[in-house]
């Protein structure tokens, strides 16, 4: 399957993407994970992205489109892909449309995962992320077996640098201003699936139902 996952930070895009990859071998492409990897590795890209990320601001559309143009050409994308955290602005969505046309690719649809703000805030402050493999934990509902250590890969599990209260508030307002308009964009394109759900399983069920049609 080839899907775009839309939703506020903390809506569960990453969790849903990971569940979907197990169904048909599609790959999860998270621009946030790619950028965090570049920051950790200290590459040129990482240096350009670091300050914006720490503040919870967006990285420039040009930088993101450069990353995605390369990423979508890789072999593993042939099995399908789940775009998690991209596109994030109207210019990115327009550029993606042009890029996919050029590549002769067609997306199935864009999923908007709608979760109440209180739930989002609670999740973001209790979320912890593995620095090795990106696995997501939650200190209340899904802690690692050993505190601070990833069950899957043994690397440290930490609170992200952009998960301070200030950065979280900024990420949410950036989402409302720049990313939420994509819901209307994909609705106009006739390719939107809206799901009101706080459980990832319910989101998966809605996606499967729509794919089955
Ligand atoms: P979130 O949990 O907020 O969805 P991500 O892991 O997707 O976070 O992204 C983390 C940060 O990486 C964002 O706050 C932003 O600085 C940067 N980023 C990720 N994807 C994009 C994108 N498509 N466009 C611009 N910036 C991005
Ligand atoms: Zn891990």
- 89-148 residue pLDDT tens: 999 999 999 999 999 999 999 999 999 988 999 989 999 999 999 899 999 999 999 999
pLDDT for res 172: 93
Q: How many CB atoms lie within 10 A of CB 16?
A: 26
- Cα(65) to centroid(ligand 1), Å: 13
**Cα–Cα distance measured from residue 209 to residue 82, given in angstroms and rounded to the nearest whole number:** 17
Q: How many CB atoms lie within 10 A of CB 67?
A: 19
Token pair recorded at residue 146:
């050993």
Residue 6 has pLDDT above 90, yes or no: yes
**Cα–Cα distance measured from residue 177 to residue 18, given in angstroms and rounded to the nearest whole number:** 27
Output the CA angle 119-123-128, nearest 5 degrees: 175
Ligand closest in space to the Cα of 9? 1
Superfamily of domain 2-116+177-211 in the CATH hierarchy: P-loop containing nucleotide triphosphate hydrolases (3.40.50.300)
- Cα(27) to centroid(ligand 2), Å: 17
**Cα–Cα distance measured from residue 79 to residue 59, given in angstroms and rounded to the nearest whole number:** 28
The pTM (predicted TM-score) of the whole model is 0.89
Output the CA angle 25-29-30, nearest 5 degrees: 140
**Residue 127 is a catalytic residue:** yes
Q: How confident is the model at residue 164 (pLDDT cuts 50, 70, 90)?
A: confident
Closest residue by CA, ligand 1 atom 1:
9
What's the number of CA atoms in the CB half-sphere (13 Å) around residue 1? 24
Is 157 in contact with 146 (CB distance < 8 Å)?
no
Helix (H/G/I), strand (E/B), else coil: 127: strand
**Residue 36 is a catalytic residue:** no
Among 110, 113, 112, 114, smallest CA distance to 3 is for 110
- Across 160-177, average pLDDT: 90
Q: How many CB atoms lie within 10 A of CB 164?
A: 15
**Residue 88 is a catalytic residue:** yes
Share of the chain above pLDDT 70, in %: 100
Q: Say which of 36, 123, 127, 128 is annotated catalytic.
A: 127
Atom of ligand 1 nearest to the CA of 13: 4
Domain boundaries, the chain: 2-116+177-211
Atom of ligand 1 nearest to the CA of 56: 14
């Amino acid at each position: 399957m080839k899907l775009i996952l839309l939703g506020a930070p903390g809506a569960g895009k990453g969790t849903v993407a990971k569940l979907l990859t197990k169904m048909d071998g599609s790959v999860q492409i998270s621009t946030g994970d790619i950028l965090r990897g570049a920051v950790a590795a200290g590459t040129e890209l990482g240096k350009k992205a670091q300050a914006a990320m720490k503040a919870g601001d967006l990285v420039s559309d040009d930088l993101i489109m450069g990353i995605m143009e390369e990423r979508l050409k890789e072999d593993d994308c042939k099995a399908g892909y789940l775009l998690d955290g991209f596109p994030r602005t109207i210019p990115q969505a327009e550029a993606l449309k042009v890029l996919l046309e050029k590549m002769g690719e067609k997306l199935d649809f864009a999923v908007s995962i709608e979760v109440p703000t209180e739930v989002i805030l609670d999740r973001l402050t209790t979320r912890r992320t593995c620095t090795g493999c990106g696995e997501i934990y939650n200190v209340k509902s899904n802690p690692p077996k050993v505190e601070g250590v990833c069950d899957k890969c043994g690397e440290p599990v930490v609170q992200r640098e952009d998960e301070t209260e200030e950065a979280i508030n900024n990420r949410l307002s950036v989402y409302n201003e720049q990313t939420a308009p994509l819901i209307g964009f994909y609705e106009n394109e006739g390719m939107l699936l809206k799901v009101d759900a706080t459980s990832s399983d319910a989101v998966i069920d809605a996606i499967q139902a729509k794919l089955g049609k």
